[in-house]
Copies of this chain bind each other. A is one copy, B any other.
Amino acid sequence: MVKIVLKSFWYKYQERYQAIKSVLCVGLDPEFGQLPESAKKAANPIWEFNKAIIESTAEFACAYKPNLAFYLADGIRGLDALYKTVEFIPENIPVILDAKIGDIGNTMNAYISAFFADLKVDAITINPLIGSDVMQPVQERNAFAFVLCLTSNPSAADFLKEGMAEKIAYWLQNYPQENFGAVVGATYSANLKTMRNLLLNRILLIPGIGAQGGDLKTVLQEAKDSFATPNILVNSSRGIIFASRGKDFASAARKEARRLTREMKNALSQE
């Protein structure tokens, strides 16, 4: 099997962070019903919307994270929008496809071909429930995946907060940080600190900011790595892209991305 990724997400993240000192991940979750009326009139509404959002926020984005669900929900036109979106994002900004997939052998390889070779994203999110068979194809092909460890939704209490998050984090220690990061929800800062201690020198993708709540300053202080870079990405989706749903949506998104970036820089620089 050919190795697909020439420059792994790991290195691309470090370079982007050093260049702009931002840990902001802009979540591209273009829920169709929420799009501004002006975008809805376009031939491909999601693509038109994303294009404007990317143009206005790229300066502040350490990464972009489109979520597969919102593209599939617009059928073939939606998948086309996803392809166009990933191609449009500047080469130096890494792209994470949020798909939370987790399958075995030839199936997982098919996903990896789809996402890394065809769509050409830099990283994906994966669900580790069925074990190392999910990880192997990612590692073999030198791709990069964020492994779901702890999420910030209420029902994370069903399994993840009942010991499963720690189990996954321990297990993840067997895998190289150049190929695997972790998704760690930001709802409780005590959880965050525990997770970081189990996941040193590994990039953490932190959802749960903005629409999902979570105090930014605490989150950053608890989650940042003790190495040269913080090794975190803090995601905001709706808070940025739907900051306004009027004609000024792109400039409102820019304003919110700038505000969040400044707030994060301040929080990270405090001791």
A interface residues (Cβ-Cβ under 8 A, vs B):
29, 31, 67, 69-70, 72-73, 75-76, 78-80, 83, 99-108, 110-111, 113-115, 118-119, 127-134, 148, 151, 153-160, 164, 167-168, 171
Contact = CB atoms under 8 A, between A and B. Distances in A.
A167 B171 contact: no
A118 B69 CA distance: 13
B158 A69 contact: no
A231 B125 CA distance: 33
A79 to B, nearest CB: 5
25 contacts: A31-B106, A31-B110, A69-B107, A69-B108, A69-B111, A70-B107, A72-B115, A73-B110, A75-B79, A75-B118, A76-B76, A100-B102, A100-B103, A101-B101, A104-B155, A127-B129, A128-B159, A129-B148, A129-B164, A131-B154, A131-B158, A131-B159, A133-B153, A159-B167, A159-B168
Contacts of A101: 69, 99-101
Copy number in the complex reads 2
B69 A103 contact: yes
Contacts of A130: 148, 151, 153, 155-156, 158-160
A156 B131 contact: yes
A170 to B, nearest CB: 11
